[in-house]
A = this chain, B = another copy of it.
Amino acid sequence: MFITTVNPRFGDVDGLGHINNTVLAIWFELARNPLFRIFNPTLDISFERWPLIMAHTEYDFVGELFLPYEVEIRTFISHIGTKSFTIYHEAWQQGRLCVIGKAIVVHYDFTKRQSTPLPADKKLLLTEHLLKPAKG
Chain A residues near B (Cβ < 8 Å): 7, 9-11, 13-17, 20-26, 29-30, 32-33, 36-37, 42-43, 45-47, 50, 53-61, 67-68, 110
Contact = CB atoms under 8 A, between A and B. Distances in A.
B45 A56 contact: no
Contact of A45 (B10, B30, B57): B10
A58 B14 CA distance: 20
Q: How many copies does the complex hold?
A: 4
17 contacts: A9-B33, A10-B32, A11-B22, A11-B29, A13-B14, A14-B15, A15-B15, A16-B47, A16-B50, A16-B110, A21-B54, A22-B22, A22-B25, A22-B26, A42-B68, A43-B68, A58-B59
Contacts of A32: 10
A89 to B, nearest CB: 13
